[in-house]
Amino acid sequence: MKSTKHIARLAPSASLFIAVQIALYGAITPSAYAQIEEQGNNSSMERIVITATRTARPWLQTPASVESIEVYDQLPGQRTDAAELLAGISGVQVDTRYNFAQDTRITLRGFGARAAFGVRGVRMRLDGIPLSMPDGQGQTSSILLNEPYRVEVLRGPFAAIYGNASGGVIDFQSERPLVSNFEAGVSTGSANRASEHLRGVYVNDTHTVSLDYVDFSTNGDRPHSSAERTQHALRWYWNINPNWQSILRIDNNRAPNVQDPSALSPAAWRENPNQVVPQVETFNTRKTTKHDQVSLTLRGQLNAKSRTLMSAWQGTRSIEQYLAFPGSDITASGGVVDLERSFSGFSALYSLEPFTAIPWQLTAAIDVEKQEDKRRGFVNERGVAGDLRRDETGHVDSLDFSLISDWQANDKWAVVAGVRASNIDFDVADRFIVPPNSDNAGNPDDSGQVEFSEQSWSLGLNYTIRPTASLFASVGEGFETPTLTEMAYQNEGSGLNTSLQTSAVRQFDMGLKGLTERARWLTSLFYIESSNDLIVDQSIDGRTTYRNAAKTERYGLEASFNYVFSDQWSLRSSATLMRAVFAGSTAEQGNMLPGLAREQIFNQLEYRPYGTESWRLKLQQNYRSRIAINDNNSDFAPSATVWSFSSEWDYRSADMPRWQVQPWFRIDNISDKRYVGSVVVNQGNGRAFEPAPGRIWLLGVTLRYR
């Protein structure tokens, strides 16, 4: 592979991770292997089952770069940011904006870096229900972040089985409660962060019902950055019979008043990272969000050799956002965004083993999704909505068929392959049409439609070296279409930017995995080549245009390492070393793709006094190298190392066994480091730095009665 020769130059620190893993693997004695083999299905390697690949397969025998982490192993917190659930996963760059008017910025192997807001190029799910729209845009603010107990992250070629998501899959997974209980939690912290959480659970032989209420508010870490958010959630699990189960989910989220402090120019950030630009106050930048969603899942078995999963969902999301400019020009679309979105979908998956004598599983799936965006724009008259400047309705319809073959050829070799056919239709009907006259140029009809028909595939091989280690390699091709938002504007002229093409993505991935009773490690090398990659062209005052780059390349190394030294000490580490550059004949050839760190290193040391689960102390370190802010690489957000610490205690009294008290404390950015939390790529007005605050403390307690 032509680019692997460069990987050794990415960072010397990569050799440390590889050396430790190889040394650990070589140090395991034959008697230890024999002991693991004797444990059979009771060993830890059999308990870690991966489902993000849409087939249930043991982690060690899955031919993909996929990781699973329990939320319990993360630092405790108020769960207001998805970064709290994704910290320390290799290949994942999670940038907290510290701006509750904007979603967490999430990228996988560089995909999603161009997103001006929300999450792009990455498929997100909660218990199989998509959090991403059919056009590829998604957000984590729509879910109850207190709910997931585990997160699976799939990277590499197998993302192709999800269609319009080349970057990978983030699969949040919840857990059905087993006993009736009631819990109440309260917490407080810096910048008047305050959160309340109530939960009630009822369980009998057939049904489980849970109700959640969460309320969060803060004054914000900078001026004009206060936020309020209230969430309600209902879950009903019903065992229809021994083989079938249904799950009903109802979510209601409200964020009635979230102020937007906006980003700063590099010069302003270096002068004073706590300031805001004057436009923020002048136009009273803020956001109001309402999100309602209901879903129903049915899963079970027709017989011992089959598996069925069906899901249907429907929801609405409304956003009113005041941007930092008036948008008064007749073609400007306004400085006030008024969006009403409705979405729905249906997914069905059926797996069977066609032959009794052959360990071969065949999985067929169909996914149907719809999205309707009613979008209006008004002039922002110093924080008050004025005249209409935009009125249109956009539709996105997608229909996907996929087929996955999972063959365990023998005790050593496994072969997994998948194909998918996708059809995605975009249609925009414009109603704000103003004929030209002597006073202005008018506003033409910006209606338009475009259809994308794409195919994707993946192939992976897994070879079991020993019961505790395996090698894997995979290859595949996927795609990404532009979203409705990305097609909304052109640099010159008006109308839907139908000139944007689908980006084609080719990926190669190979790696080594290991799993023992005390250790788990994964090292992978990857190479990604894309043509017509979608990147930000210009971003000025909330109006972002996109273009197709001729070619981009991403290659690098990922390593993760978890080790339990004793009953008291354990370590969780990861490193991501990636070079992502423009290629081909573009003017930016050789430049770094903006928004992406070349190096990330994570370490979390945990100490349990007395070797029990009741008290846990964690020290966490996050390093991120510098990040280019634009295609020209004219400036960079500086590198930073941030330290955090937490203490959590689980107390139960022998005299009152039904009661459980869980106090916790956490402090972020212990050294009060000045750093940039996130960047806005290709920001035309220069405001590219989203400041991170200094030291943050959080304190909370949960009381539970069983």
pLDDT at site 49: 59
Confidence label for 53 from pLDDT (cuts 50, 70 and 90) = low
pLDDT at site 19: 46
pLDDT at site 52: 58
Angstrom distances, CA of residue 399 to CA of 122, 424, 455: 18, 7, 12
Least confident of 279-283, 602-606, 629-633: 629-633
Summarize pLDDT for 291-350 with one digit per residue, the tens: 999 999 999 988 888 899 999 999 999 999 999 999 898 888 899 999 999 999 999 999
Are 446 and 496 within 8 A, CB to CB?
yes
Look at residue 30 and tell me whether its pLDDT is greater than 70. Answer: no
Look at residue 15 and tell me whether its pLDDT is greater than 50. Answer: no
More confident position, 662 or 442: 662
Summarize pLDDT for 65-105 with one digit per residue, the tens: 999 999 999 999 999 999 999 999 999 999 999 999 988 89
Q: What residue ranges define each of the domains in the chain, with the CATH number in brackets? A: 4-705 (2.40.170.20)
Compute the distance between CA of residue 602 and CA of residue 76 in angstroms, rounded to an integer: 17
Confidence label for 586 from pLDDT (cuts 50, 70 and 90) = low
Mean pLDDT of 115-129: 82
| Strongest mean pLDDT among 331-335, 534-538, 559-563 | 559-563
Mean pLDDT of 607-624: 92
Mean pLDDT of 658-685: 94
- Look over the chain and give the mean of its residue pLDDT values, rounded to a whole number: 88
Summarize pLDDT for 370-383 with one digit per residue, the tens: 999 999 999 999 99
Are 293 and 251 within 8 A, CB to CB?
yes
Instruction: Please name the helix (run of DSSP H) or strand (run of DSSP E) that holds residue 85, with its range, or none.
Output: helix 83-86
Summarize pLDDT for 229-288 with one digit per residue, the tens: 999 999 999 999 999 999 999 999 999 989 999 999 999 999 999 999 999 999 999 999
pLDDT at site 221: 96
Look at residue 618 and tell me whether its pLDDT is greater than 50. Answer: yes
Confidence label for 438 from pLDDT (cuts 50, 70 and 90) = low
At 653 the three-state DSSP class reads: coil
Cα dihedral 75→669→225→594 (10° resolution) = -90
Residue type, 438: S
Summarize pLDDT for 162-221 with one digit per residue, the tens: 777 777 899 999 999 999 999 999 999 999 999 999 999 999 999 999 999 999 999 999
Confidence label for 484 from pLDDT (cuts 50, 70 and 90) = confident
Are 132 and 152 within 8 A, CB to CB?
no
Confidence label for 155 from pLDDT (cuts 50, 70 and 90) = very high
More confident position, 43 or 491: 491
pLDDT at site 287: 96
pLDDT at site 542: 54
Confidence label for 441 from pLDDT (cuts 50, 70 and 90) = confident
Q: Angle CA(46)–CA(419)–CA(525) in degrees, nearest 5?
A: 60
Look at residue 652 and tell me whether its pLDDT is greater than 50. Answer: yes
